[in-house]
Amino acid sequence: MHIFIKKSALFLVLFLLPLVLFEVYVRNQWIDPYDAKRAFLENEKSTCEVLILGTSHAWSGLNPEWVSKNCLNLANAFQPFYYDYQILEKYIPQMGSLNTIILPMSYTSFFNKPSAYHQNLYSIYWNLSPYGETMISDHSLVLSLGLERLVERLIDNENNFVNKGWLALEGEYNGSFKLAKMRLDLMHENMDMQNWDESVSWLNKILALGKEHKLRMVLYYPPYSKELNRQMEAYPFNQRINDYLTTLSGNDNIELHYFNNNEIYSNDLFKDADHLNAEGAFVLSSAIREILFNSITIN
């Protein structure tokens, strides 16, 4: 019996050891953008003056090096207002040089909520409070992402330290109805009108935090392609967002800017129907820079 127990224990150790070593290896900022951005912030929190948060529209749309000298991009795919707030609440007291927050008012942001995927990664990499009940997968990349997905990340990973968090996209969107519909369908998979009140409450907490710390809050509606804008008109989401944004005018520390202009942002500036490519990011980043340093307010 004792021999059987010892053999079973040895087998368990031999089975788990490679997984533990793999878990340790993949938890580094050279592999995952979540950890890279946490490392950026830890390294530069005392000198960072401008902080970009929000969704992938800011992740690919704003290059910090084109926006401001001491700027970091902490935006990520479908990043909910909940985690924007969690990051700010945790780090603002440590950021004595911070004076400006840049946050996109993305189409998806008002109608989604943190998924289990978000909870796992922000718990693991950022040690932020879980959105729901704590799960075992909040502590393990192997459990949360799975071996296959982690291996894909290892194979496909780029140097996440390039451009302080900006995701440079190449290629041009051709204006296709089909491709725009695919992007819109993907967005709508994560959107629900029932999430509106909670999302707005987290955004309001972000704005209140900015006011408390006397930060300049630069909010902007990101550019989308002409075809995507046309298709979005059939849904009530945009009108709900616009109605809310009009209530923000008149707040001392809040600026609101609209960049959804297809005369400026033509198809050749997009990678797909809603994400700017590198050329488009240069145009948007330059516009934000102009706003920051020339005090231009477009309400």
Residue 23: CB atoms within 10 A of its CB come to 17
pLDDT of the residue at 92? 97
Query: 291 near 62, Cβ under 8 Å?
Result: no
Question: What's the CA gap between 45 and 58, in Å, rounded?
Answer: 20
Tell me how far apart the alpha carbons of residues 135 and 278 are, in angstroms, rounded to a whole number: 38
- In this prediction, residue 136 carries a pLDDT of 78
User: CB-based contacts of 11: which residues, under 8 Å, 6+ apart?
Assistant: none
According to the model, what pLDDT value does residue 60 have? 95
Helix H or strand E segment including 256: strand 254-258
Q: What domains lie within the chain, and their CATH numbers?
A: 2-294 (3.40.50.1110)
The CA radius of gyration of the chain, in Å to the nearest whole number, is 21
Neighbours of 164 (CB within 10 A): 21
Question: Quick one: how many helices (H) and strands (E) in the chain?
Answer: 13, 5
Cα separation, 275 vs 173, in Å, equals 9
Task: Tell me the whole-structure pTM to 2 decimals.
Answer: 0.87
Strand partners, 71: 50
| One pLDDT digit (tens) per residue for the chain, 299 residues | 555 455 454 444 455 556 666 666 666 545 577 888 888 899 999 999 999 999 999 999 999 999 998 999 999 999 999 999 999 999 999 999 999 999 999 999 999 999 888 888 898 889 999 998 887 777 777 777 666 766 666 666 555 556 789 999 999 999 999 999 999 999 999 899 999 999 999 999 999 999 999 999 999 999 999 999 999 999 999 999 999 999 987 777 899 999 999 999 999 999 999 999 999 999 999 999 999 998 544 43
